[in-house]
Structure 1
Amino acid sequence: MRRYFGTDGVRGPVNQTPMTAEFALSLGRAAGHILTRHLNHKPHILIGKDTRLSGYMIESALCAGLTAQGMNVLLVGPAPTPAVAYLTRSLRADAGVMLSASHNPAGDNGIKFFAADGFKLPDQLELEIEDCMDNLPPLPAALEVGKAARVDDARGRYVEFLKGSLPRGLRLDGLKVVVDCANGAAYDVAPRILQELGCDVIAMHYKPDGFNINRECGSTYPEDMTRKVVEVGADIGLALDGDADRLIACDAQGRIVDGDRVIAILAEHAHNQGLLTGGGVVTTLMSNMGLGRYLETIGLTMHRAAVGDRYVLEMMREKGCNVGGEQSGHMILLDYNTTGDGLMSALQLLSAMQAQDKALADMASGMSLFPQKLWNIMMTERKDVMADEQVRKLVADAGQRLGDSGRINVRMSGTEPKLRVMVEAEDEDLMLNVGGELTEAISQRVC
C-alpha cells in the first residue's frame, strides 16, 4: 500500500504531513540511498520547481537530504515539469525531481520523481523509497557528501528543445496568440518561444509572486483567456497550468477547445502525414464518447486508460501509440517528450493550423461532443467508495437509465479527498437528471 506517493508523486498542503521540510529531508535521504545502490559513479539528480513560495523551502530540504546521502544536485530553478523531464535526459542525470502541485492552489506543493530516461519513476522504486524512510541508512563519511550547483541556462535549453520538435524553418508570423501562463513555471518560457517563432503575443498572468499561481487563471480558469482573445481579435488562446504540463485552448470566438478536441486535431494531423503510430490514441475514462465516434470515422481507435497521465503513458507504450492524453489538457506526444507537455502541445497545434491553413474552429469540425458534466463530492478522507455494495448498485441503476447512449464514471481524486461523478449522454436533460440524482444519493450514503 502506498502511504505517500499518489498517481503523480507526493502532494498536499504545505507544513502539513507529508509536505513538510522534515519530510522532504527524509525523502531526499531515502531517495538518494535507493537511487544510488546500483550506480558505479557519483550520482547526479536534477531538481526543478514551479513558482510557489514554498518551493524554496522544499527545494532546500530535499537538496540537503540528497547531498547528505552522497548525491550531487543540479538546481534548475523555476521550470515547467516537462522541461525537468527533458533536462534529466539531456544533462545525463541519474534522476530528476519536480516540485509542484500542478493546478492546485499556492498553499499546496508536491514532489515528483523522474527516472534517468525522463519517464516517471517506476511504482516499485517509489515503494522502495517509502520503505526506506522507515529505516534510513547510515550517513556516508564527511568527505563523501554531495554538492549542489545551479544550471543557469536550463530554460534556454528547453526553448531550443521545443523548437526542435517543429518542422525545420517553421515560422508562425501573422498569428495573434493570447497565452495565459497561470503565474506559473512557464511565465518566461511561453511568451518567449511564441515571440521567437514570430507570433504576435499577448501574455497574461506572467508575473508570479509566490502566491498567485493558478489563482483565477490558467487552464483551470480559462475565462480570462477567452475574454482577452475576443477583445483583441486573436486567432487562438492558450492556457497553461502552474507547472505547464497541461493545455486548454480556445478558438477566435472564445470557445473552449479542451484536451479531447486537441487530441483529435493532433491525431488526425499526424495520421494524414503518416506519422501516427498504433492505429489510434490513448485517452482516459473521462474522455468524451464523441471523441471515440469521431476517431472511428477517420479509421482510428480510441483506447481508454485509468485517469492519470501515468496510466495513459503506460497504455501508450503497451499499444505502441505516440499520441495520447486527458480531457483536462494533459497531452503526451511520445515522439517528442516523455510526459505531458502543455507548450509542446500548443506548438504542435499551431503547426497543424499553419500546415492546413485553417482556423482552429474549422479543425476537427465534424466532431460533436456528448453533453457531459462532472459533480464533486467532498469527503473527510480518501477511501474506496466503490467498495460499498450500495454505491455500486446506485451507479448500476443510473447506468441502466442511460442505456447505450451514455455512461457514468465514479472515482476518487488521485490527489484530494474528493469523489468525482462524471455523467455523459446524448440527451442533455437525461444526463443532468441522472447525474444530479446519483450524486445526491451517493452523498447521502458516504458523507
Structure 2
Amino acid sequence: MGKYFGTDGVRGRANEGLTLDISIKIGQYLGWYYSKSGRHARILIGKDTRLSGDMFELGLSAGATSMGAQVYLLGVCPTPSISYLIQKERFDCGIMVSASHNPYYDNGIKVFNDRGEKMEEFVLLKIEDYMDGKTQLPLATGDKIGELIEWEDGLEIYMSWLKETVPVDLTGMHICVDLANGSATSTAAETLDALGATVEAINNSPNGININNKCGSTHPEGLQRIMTENDYDIGLAFDGDADRLIICDSDGRLMDGDYILYICSRYLKSINKLNKNMCVTTVMANLGLYKALDANKIDYIQTPVGDKYVFEEMQNHDYWIGGEQSGHIIFYEHEKTGDGLFTALQILMVMKETGKTLQELSEGLFIYPQLLENVEVKDKENVLNDEALQKVIQSVQDDLGDEGRILVRPSGTEPLIRVMVEAKTDELCKEYVERVVSYMQEHAF
C-alpha cells in the first residue's frame, strides 16, 4: 500500500482526509497518463449517492479534462458496472467515487485499469508522486483540452448484460430488497422486475446523507423483520456501492458470504461448472464452511483478508468462484470484481433451477459461533513474534481441536491485533478469546 492508496483506493472524510484537491490531482494524472500518446483518453466515472459524490466527481472530471481526456459520467451506479463497462466499451480507465459501506461523511476514490481490474500498484505510486508535487505535468491547451459527456446509456448496457448473462425467469418469485439508499437504487429493483419478479424495495430514497444509515448489508435488521412479517422467497441486502450482498431467507435468517459460497459452489459442481473444483476464501471464512466443502468433496484455498487477494488468486489460477464473509463474491468466469446484483441473480437462478428454498440449499452447513476482539498494541510485529504468546495461542488451538480454530492477525491499517475464535458455543468463544487477550494485556503489549 502507498501513502494515499490503500487496498481499496483512497478513503477519508470528505474535505478532511479526502479533499477536492486530491480528486483533481488524481484526475489530472490519469488524464495525462492515458492521453500522453497524443489522443484524447476515454475515462469513465461513476459515484454512489453520498452528498460529497458530486464534488469529487466534478473534481476528477476537471482534472482529467484539463489534461486532455474525454470524461464520461455514468452518474449513480454500482461499482461493478464501472468494471464491466470499461471492458465492454473499451475505456482507458475508470474511477468510482464511493466509500462502500462507510457512513455518508466518508468518501473514496477507486481506480480501475483498462481491463476493469484495480489499477496497478506502479501507476498508483506515480499518482501519489504527482499528488506530493514530486513531478510536474503539462496542461492540455487548444484543441487538446478534453470534454465532459453525460453518458445516459451506460447503465442500460450494464443491466442488459446482467439479464443476458443470467437469463433466469423470476416469475412467481417474491423478493424484498434493501438498497441501502445507495448505488443499488439505480439498478437492482428495475433488473429484478424486468426478469419477472414481484419486488418490494426498502431504503430506496437516497438523500445524500442516509446511505448505509441503519440499513443495507451492514445493518439488515429491518430486512429481517420484514421477512418474518411477510411472505417473501428471499431478501437481498446491498451495501452502499452495491458490490456486496447479504441474503435473508423466508424465516428472517441472515446468510452471509460463506452461505453464498457454499450454495453456489455446490450448484456449480453439480452441473460440472466449478472450474478446477475450487472455492477461494479468505482466512476469515467460517470453519463450518470448510467442513461443509470437505463433505461435498469441494477443494478450497485461503487468501489474506481483502477482495484484492481473492481476485489475484482467482486470476492467477483461473478459479471461478471466490469471496468473503462480507458478501463480496466474485464469479471470475464473468466478472473481475464483486457484484451484489450479479450474485443475487446467481442465487435466484440456483433456487429456480433446483426448485429449493434457501433453507434447503444451505442444508449441511453449520456456521460456528465466532467472536472477534481487537487489542490496541504499541508494536504489532513485536507482539506476534512473542514466543510465550504463541504458546498461549497454540494451547487454545489444542483445546479446540477439530471443533474450532483461533486466528490472531494484525490489522492492515490500525495499531491493532485481531483475536478471532470459532467454537461450538458462544461461551467457548468468549473463554478462549479472553485467554489470549488477557495475556496480551497482562504483558503490556
Cα distance in structure 1, aligned partners of 2:429 and 2:15: 41
Amino acid at match of 1:344: F
Cα distance in structure 2, aligned partners of 1:255 and 1:52: 29
Amino acid at match of 1:432: K
Amino acid at match of 2:389: L
Residue number in structure 2 paired with 1:32: 31
Give the deviation of 1:322 after TM superposition.
Answer: 0.5
Residue number in structure 1 paired with 2:80: 82
Residue number in structure 1 paired with 2:46: 48
Give the deviation of 1:440 after TM superposition.
Answer: 5.2
Q: 1:360 aligns with which of 355, 358, 361?
A: 358
> Cα gap change, 1:148/1:370 in structure 2, threshold over 3 Å: closer, same or farther?
same
Conserved 8 A contact 2:392-2:436: no
Give the deviation of 1:50 after TM superposition.
Answer: 0.3
Gaps of 5+ in 2: none
1:401 and 2:399 aligned = no
Secondary structure of the residue aligned to 2:229 is: helix
Cα distance in structure 2, aligned partners of 1:165 and 1:208: 29
Amino acid at match of 2:273: L
Give the deviation of 1:386 after TM superposition.
Answer: 3.8
Give the deviation of 1:394 after TM superposition.
Answer: 3.1
Cα distance in structure 2, aligned partners of 1:304 and 1:5: 24
Q: 2:194 aligns with which of 175, 193, 196?
A: 196
Deviates most, 426-435 or 281-290 = 426-435
Q: How does 1:213-362 map to 2 (within 5 A)?
A: 213-362=211-360
Cα distance in structure 1, aligned partners of 2:42 and 2:153: 17
Q: 1:123 aligns with which of 121, 124, 132?
A: 121
Residue number in structure 1 paired with 2:149: 149
Conserved 8 A contact 1:34-1:128: no
Give the deviation of 1:13 after TM superposition.
Answer: 1.1
Residue number in structure 1 paired with 2:95: 97
Q: How does 1:372-383 map to 2 (within 5 A)?
A: 372-377=370-375
Cα distance in structure 2, aligned partners of 1:429 and 1:219: 27
> Cα gap change, 1:384/1:183 in structure 2, threshold over 3 Å: closer, same or farther?
farther
Cα distance in structure 2, aligned partners of 1:136 and 1:15: 24
Give the deviation of 1:177 after TM superposition.
Answer: 0.7
Cα distance in structure 2, aligned partners of 1:41 and 1:446: 59
> Cα gap change, 1:338/1:408 in structure 2, threshold over 3 Å: closer, same or farther?
same
Output the TM-score relative to the length of structure 2: 0.93
Give the deviation of 1:417 after TM superposition.
Answer: 6.7
Conserved 8 A contact 2:77-2:186: no
Q: How does 1:363-442 map to 2 (within 5 A)?
A: 363-377=361-375, 385-389=380-384, 393-394=388-389, 396-403=391-398, 404-405=401-402, 406-414=404-412, 420-439=418-437, 441-442=439-440
Secondary structure of the residue aligned to 1:74 is: strand
Q: How many residues align?
A: 440
Give the deviation of 1:442 after TM superposition.
Answer: 4.3
> Cα gap change, 1:428/1:392 in structure 2, threshold over 3 Å: closer, same or farther?
farther
Secondary structure of the residue aligned to 2:3 is: coil
Deviates most, 356-365 or 432-441 = 432-441
Amino acid at match of 2:383: D
Secondary structure of the residue aligned to 1:388 is: helix
Cα distance in structure 1, aligned partners of 2:79 and 2:172: 29
Conserved 8 A contact 1:402-1:430: no
Secondary structure of the residue aligned to 1:42 is: coil
> Cα gap change, 1:391/1:399 in structure 2, threshold over 3 Å: closer, same or farther?
same
Q: Sequence identity, in percent?
A: 41
Give the deviation of 1:124 after TM superposition.
Answer: 2.1
Cα distance in structure 1, aligned partners of 2:55 and 2:136: 24
Cα distance in structure 1, aligned partners of 2:379 and 2:432: 22
Cα distance in structure 2, aligned partners of 1:239 and 1:415: 27
Computed over aligned residues only, the root mean square deviation of the Cα atoms, in angstroms, reads 2.1
> Cα gap change, 1:92/1:444 in structure 2, threshold over 3 Å: closer, same or farther?
farther
Cα distance in structure 2, aligned partners of 1:23 and 1:445: 42
1:186-212: CA deviations, max 9, x gaps?
113111111111111111101000000
Give the deviation of 1:86 after TM superposition.
Answer: 0.8
Give the deviation of 1:129 after TM superposition.
Answer: 1.8
Cα distance in structure 2, aligned partners of 1:22 and 1:141: 18
Secondary structure of the residue aligned to 1:187 is: helix
Give the deviation of 1:402 after TM superposition.
Answer: 2.6
Give the deviation of 1:297 after TM superposition.
Answer: 1.7
Output the TM-score relative to the length of structure 1: 0.93
Secondary structure of the residue aligned to 2:165 is: coil
Cα distance in structure 2, aligned partners of 1:75 and 1:121: 19
> Cα gap change, 1:384/1:114 in structure 2, threshold over 3 Å: closer, same or farther?
farther
Conserved 8 A contact 1:385-1:446: no
Give the deviation of 1:131 after TM superposition.
Answer: 2.2
Cα distance in structure 2, aligned partners of 1:173 and 1:350: 11
Give the deviation of 1:401 after TM superposition.
Answer: 1.4
> Cα gap change, 1:21/1:125 in structure 2, threshold over 3 Å: closer, same or farther?
same
> Cα gap change, 1:132/1:281 in structure 2, threshold over 3 Å: closer, same or farther?
same
Cα distance in structure 2, aligned partners of 1:172 and 1:378: 49
1:161 and 2:161 aligned = yes
> Cα gap change, 1:417/1:44 in structure 2, threshold over 3 Å: closer, same or farther?
farther
> Cα gap change, 1:398/1:141 in structure 2, threshold over 3 Å: closer, same or farther?
closer
Gaps of 5+ in 1: none
Conserved 8 A contact 1:384-1:412: no
Amino acid at match of 2:137: P
1:159-214: CA deviations, max 9, x gaps?
111112214xx311111111000000011311111111111111110100000000
Cα distance in structure 1, aligned partners of 2:140 and 2:244: 43
Cα distance in structure 2, aligned partners of 1:50 and 1:391: 44
Amino acid at match of 2:279: V
